[in-house]
Amino acid sequence: MNYELLKATVYLLVGVAILLIGMRMMSSGFKKSIGKKIRDFFKRTQDKAVLNMGIGTVVTAAIQSSDATNAMVVGFINTGAMTIYQGLCIMLGAYIGTTVTGVIASFSSLSISIYFLLFTVIGVIMMFFNKEIIKNIGEILAGLGLLFFGLAIMKDSFKNADITNFTKMLFSSINFGPLLFLVGLVVTAIMDSSSAVTSIVIAMVGSGAIELSSGLFIVLGATLGTVVTTLLVAIGGHVNGKRAAWIAFSLRALTSVVMVIILTLFRTPITNVMTAFASRTSGELAVAIFTVIYNIVFMPLLLPLLKPAINLFSKLIKEKETASAMDGVIKYIDNKMLAFPHVATGQVEKELLHMYTLALENYERSIQMILTKDFEAESKLLAVEEQIDYLNERITAFLIELSSRVQPSEERKAGSYFHVVNDIERIADHAINISVIARELADKDLAFSELAKAEINSLNAVVMEMFTLTRTIFETRDAKLLKTLHELEEKADAYKTLFFNNHYDRIKNKSCVFELSPFYSTFLGDLERVSDHLNNIGFSIVNPTGVDQFIKA
C-alpha cells in the first residue's frame, strides 16, 4: 500500500469518526435545549394518529435521532404511560423526522459549504459561556460544523484514485439491489444510526465513489437497519414494548421490501429521474430527497395497518403466565427514558407521587386498625409495603443514573428526589409501626379510651391535611404554601406533647390504664414523625434536603 493510499484511508476513517462525533454533539445539544419542550410534546399524545405522527416527526427532527425517540417511546409503553397505538404513531413520525439529518448533510454539496465549517469555531466559543442556553446552542453549532467537516474530509479522501476505484469495483461486484439493501441494513445495525449511514452514502455519491442508484438501495436498507436498535432496546422490557418494537420492524420491513421491488423493477427510470434532479442540484441532495419522499409517502400509508397489527402481535407475543408480584408496580420510569433527562425527571416526579399515594393509603389503613381493631386490610398493607420498598430501590437506582445526565439547572431538583423518596419510604415504615401497635393492642386485649381516640382523630386530621398540602406543594412547586405547611407541622408537634401529657393526667384520674402508656407514646411519636417527613417533602422544592426554612437556629 503506497503512502497516498494509506493517507486517504486514514482520512476516510477520521472523516467518519468526526461525522459521528458531530452528529452526537448536535443531538446532545438539541436534547439539552428543548428537553422541557419534548416533555410537553409527549404530554399531548392522544389516540389521534396524525397528531402523534407529527409529534414523532418534530421531536426526531429536533434531536436528530429516531433511535433515541423510539427508545423513549418503548420506555413509555413499558410503563403503561403510552398505549402501543400511540407509540407506534410516534415511531412512524420519527422515521420521517430522521431524514432531516440527510438533508442537512446534502448541503455539503453547496459552494458555500466551506463556510459551514466556521460553525465549529463559533460553537466552541459559545460553549465557554456560563449561560446554559448559549452553551447548548454552541454544542449544536459545533456539532453541525463537525458534521460538515467530517463530510469534507471523507470527500477529500475519495479524491484518491485507488480508493475511488476500489469502492466502485466493490459496489459494482454487488450491483444487485436486494444485496445492496442488505449491506445498508447490516451496516446501520452495526453503526446504530441510519442518519450516519445516509450521510456517509451522500458523501460517497457526491464524490463519485458509488453510483446514485446503488446509494438509493443502501439508504433503503439503512431505514430498516435502524429499527434493529428498537428491537434490542425492547429486550427485557414489558411485553407491550416488545410488541411495539416487532410491529415497527415488521411494518418497516414491509415498506422497505415493497420499495426495493419497485426500485429493482424500475431502476432505470427512477435513477434517470433522480439523476436529472441531481444534474440540476447535486447527487447528495438527490439521495436525501429520495429518503424524504420514501418516508413521507409510505409512513402515513401504514397508519390503517397499526390496529390490525397490534391485534395480531398481541396473539403472537403473549404475556408471561407466571407474573412477578412486582409486575406493574413501576408505572412511569424506565431506563430507556434516560436519553432524555428532562423527560426522565418528569417521569420520576410522577413515580414519586405514585409511591406517595401508596404510602398515604397504607397510613390510612394503619390508622383504621388502631381506631377500629379491624385487621381485614392487614395483608393488603403488608403487600403494599413490599411494593413501596421495591419502588424505593428502583427509583433510587434510576436517580443515580439520571443524576449524571441532568442539566445544571435541574441538578438540585434531581438531588432533592433522593431525599423525597427516602421520606416517603419512612412514612410507609411508620404506617407499618402503627399497624404493629394496633395488632399488639388487640393481642393484649387493650384499647385506647374514647378521649384518647378523640385526640388521635385530632392529630390525624392535622397529618391528613399535611398529606394533601404536601402533594399540592410538590406538584405545583408553590413556595407560598410552605409557611402553612410549617405551621401544621408545629401544630402536630404541639398535639403530640399535649396529648401525651393528657394521657398521664387520665392515668392519675383512673380513666386510663398505665399499660397503654408505651403504646400511646410510640403511636403519637409515629404520627409526629410522619408530619416531619411530610414537611421535608414539601420543603424539598426550595432545599434539596427538605430543611424547614422557618425553623430558627
Per-residue pLDDT reduced to its tens digit, 464-492 = 999 999 999 999 999 999 999 999 999 99
Give the Cβ contact number of residue 226 at 10 Å. Answer: 28
Same domain as 513, residue 419? yes
Same domain as 234, residue 301? yes
Q: Has residue 175 been placed in a domain?
A: yes
pLDDT in the model for residue 1: 54
- What's the alpha-carbon Rg for the chain, to the nearest Å? 31
Residue 504 has pLDDT above 50, yes or no: yes
Among the candidates 264, 285, 316, a domain finishes at 316
Whole-number Å distance between alpha carbons of 430 and 372: 18
pLDDT in the model for residue 553: 37
- Average confidence (pLDDT) over 251-270: 91
Q: What is the DSSP string of 493-519?
A: HHHHHHHHHHHHHHHHTTSS-GGGHHH
Q: Has residue 410 been placed in a domain?
A: yes
Whole-number Å distance between alpha carbons of 141 and 126: 9
Show the cell assigned to 311: 391485534
pLDDT in the model for residue 227: 85
Same domain as 353, residue 306? no
Same domain as 370, residue 271? no
* Top-confidence residue, 275 or 459: 459
Same domain as 420, residue 523? yes
Q: Has residue 321 been placed in a domain?
A: no
Same domain as 40, residue 119? yes
| Distance of alpha carbon 52 from the chain centroid | 17
Whole-number Å distance between alpha carbons of 219 and 235: 26
Ranges 43-57, 96-110, 342-356, 517-531: which has the least confidence = 43-57
The count of structural domains within the chain is: 2
C-alpha angle 157-203-28 in degrees, rounded to nearest 5 = 105
Same domain as 348, residue 286? no
Whole-number Å distance between alpha carbons of 502 and 490: 18
Q: Has residue 547 been placed in a domain?
A: no
| Distance of alpha carbon 87 from the chain centroid | 13
* Top-confidence residue, 125 or 160: 125
Closest CA to 537 of 445, 420, 436, 398: 420
Residue 44 has pLDDT above 70, yes or no: no
CATH of the domain at 482: 1.20.58.220
Same domain as 531, residue 388? yes
Show the cell assigned to 173: 461486484
Q: Which residue has the cell 447535486?
A: 282
Whole-number Å distance between alpha carbons of 252 and 229: 13
* Top-confidence residue, 132 or 282: 132
Same domain as 458, residue 530? yes
Among the candidates 316, 350, 366, a domain finishes at 316
Q: What confidence tier does 133 reach under pLDDT thresholds 50, 70, 90?
A: confident
Among the candidates 284, 316, 348, a domain finishes at 316
* Top-confidence residue, 324 or 64: 64
Q: Has residue 326 been placed in a domain?
A: no
Q: Which domain holds residue 341?
A: 335-539
Same domain as 363, residue 258? no
pLDDT in the model for residue 236: 65
Ranges 62-66, 328-332, 375-379, 501-505: which has the least confidence = 62-66
Helices and strands, counts by H and E, the chain: 22, 0
If DSSP codes are grouped into helix, strand and coil, which group holds residue 192?
Answer: coil
Whole-number Å distance between alpha carbons of 8 and 154: 9
Per-residue pLDDT reduced to its tens digit, 383-416 = 999 999 999 999 999 999 998 888 777 788 888 9
Q: Has residue 546 been placed in a domain?
A: no
Nearest-10 Cα torsion for 73, 196, 145, 68: 10
Same domain as 433, residue 300? no
- Average confidence (pLDDT) over 155-184: 84
- Average confidence (pLDDT) over 497-519: 86
**Maximum Cα interatomic distance, the chain, rounded to a whole number of Å:** 107
Residue 310 has pLDDT above 60, yes or no: yes
Is 232 exposed, middle or buried (CB count within 10 Å of its CB: 0-12, 13-18, 19+)? middle
**Percent of the chain beyond pLDDT 70?**
93
Q: Has residue 297 been placed in a domain?
A: yes
Closest CA to 544 of 423, 439, 389: 423
Closest CA to 180 of 62, 100, 259, 125: 259
Q: Has residue 553 been placed in a domain?
A: no
pLDDT in the model for residue 196: 86
Same domain as 209, residue 74? yes
State the first-to-last Cα distance of the chain, in angstroms, to the nearest integer: 77
Show the cell assigned to 276: 436529472
